[in-house]
Structure 1
Amino acid sequence: MRLLLFAAAIVCSSYSHAQLSPPGLGDTNSAYWNAAGIRQKINEKNTSLTYIGSGRISGPDGENPLDKPSIYVVNEEVYHKINTAWQYSYALSYRRQYHYTALIGNPDDAEIHQEFRTYGRVSHSNTFGNFKWKNTLRQELRKFFNPEFGDIENSLQLRTRLKTQLTATIDNSKTSSITASAEALFSVPYDDAAGWGNYEYKESRFCLYYTLKPKSLPVVFDLGYMNDLVGTGHDVMDANYIAFDIILENPF
Structure 2
Amino acid sequence: MHGTGKMVIGISLLGLYSSLYAQISPPGLGEANTASWLAFGVKRKLDSLGKKQTLSYIALGRKSSPDDYNLVSKQAIIVLNHEMYHSFAPNQQYSYAVSYRRQPKYESSAPYEKEAIEQEVRVYGRYAYTFALGKRWKLKNTIRQEFRKFFDSDFHQTEENFQLRTRIKSQLTYNVSPKNNHKLALSAESLFSTSYLHDSEQKWTPFGYKEVRIAAYYMFSIPHSPFTVDIGYVDDLIRGSKSIRKGGVHYLAADLIWNLPL
Asked if 1:26 corresponds to 2:30, the answer is: yes
Superposed CA deviations along residues 48-69 of structure 1, whole A, max 9, x for unmatched, are 0000000000121110101111
Q: What residue ranges of structure 1 are gaps of 5+ in the alignment?
A: 1-14
Cα distance, 1:236 vs structure 2: 3.2
More helix by percentage: 2
Instruction: Tell me if structure 1 keeps the 8 A contact 2:20–2:259.
Output: no
Cα distance, 1:191 vs structure 2: 2.4
Specify the alignment match of 1:111 in structure 2.
Answer: 116
Asked if 1:51 corresponds to 2:61, the answer is: no
Q: 1:121 aligns with which of 122, 126, 145?
A: 126
Instruction: Give the Cα–Cα distance (whole angstroms) in 2 for the partners of residues 175 and 87 of structure 1.
Output: 21
Cα distance, 1:207 vs structure 2: 0.4
Q: What residue ranges of structure 2 are gaps of 5+ in the alignment?
A: 1-18
Instruction: Tell me if structure 2 keeps the 8 A contact 1:226–1:242.
Output: yes
Higher Cα Rg, which structure: 2
Q: 2:46 aligns with which of 20, 42, 48?
A: 42
Matched ranges for 1:39-188 at <5 A: 39-43=43-47, 44=49, 45-101=51-107, 102-103=109-110, 105-106=112-113, 109-128=114-133, 129-173=135-179, 175-188=181-194
Specify the alignment match of 1:11 in structure 2.
Answer: none
Change in 2 beyond 3 A, CA 1:46/1:37? same
SS of 1:55's partner is strand
Instruction: Give the Cα–Cα distance (whole angstroms) in 1 for the partners of residues 168 and 20 of structure 2.
Output: 17
May I ask how many residue pairs the two structures share in their alignment?
A: 236
Instruction: Give the Cα–Cα distance (whole angstroms) in 1 for the partners of residues 59 and 171 of structure 2.
Output: 22
SS of 2:177's partner is coil
Instruction: Tell me if structure 2 keeps the 8 A contact 1:16–1:178.
Output: no
TM-score by length of 2: 0.85
Asked if 1:245 corresponds to 2:252, the answer is: no
Specify the alignment match of 1:224 in structure 2.
Answer: 232
Q: 1:198 aligns with which of 201, 206, 225?
A: 206
Cα distance, 1:251 vs structure 2: 5.8
Cα distance, 1:194 vs structure 2: 4.0
Structure 1 residue ranges (4+ consecutive) displaced by more than 3 angstroms after TM superposition: 232-237
Identity fraction in percent: 41
Instruction: Give the Cα–Cα distance (whole angstroms) in 1 for the partners of residues 73 and 202 of structure 2.
Output: 39
Superposed CA deviations along residues 54-98 of structure 1, whole A, max 9, x for unmatched, are 000012111010111110000000001111211000000000001
Instruction: Tell me if structure 2 keeps the 8 A contact 1:159–1:186.
Output: yes
Change in 2 beyond 3 A, CA 1:208/1:158? same
Instruction: Tell me if structure 1 keeps the 8 A contact 2:40–2:256.
Output: yes
Cα distance, 1:202 vs structure 2: 0.3
Instruction: Give the Cα–Cα distance (whole angstroms) in 1 for the partners of residues 20 and 237 of structure 2.
Output: 23
Pairwise CA RMSD of aligned residues?
Answer: 2.0
Instruction: Give the Cα–Cα distance (whole angstroms) in 1 for the partners of residues 218 and 257 of structure 2.
Output: 14
Instruction: Give the Cα–Cα distance (whole angstroms) in 2 for the partners of residues 143 and 35 of structure 1.
Output: 23
TM-score by length of 1: 0.88
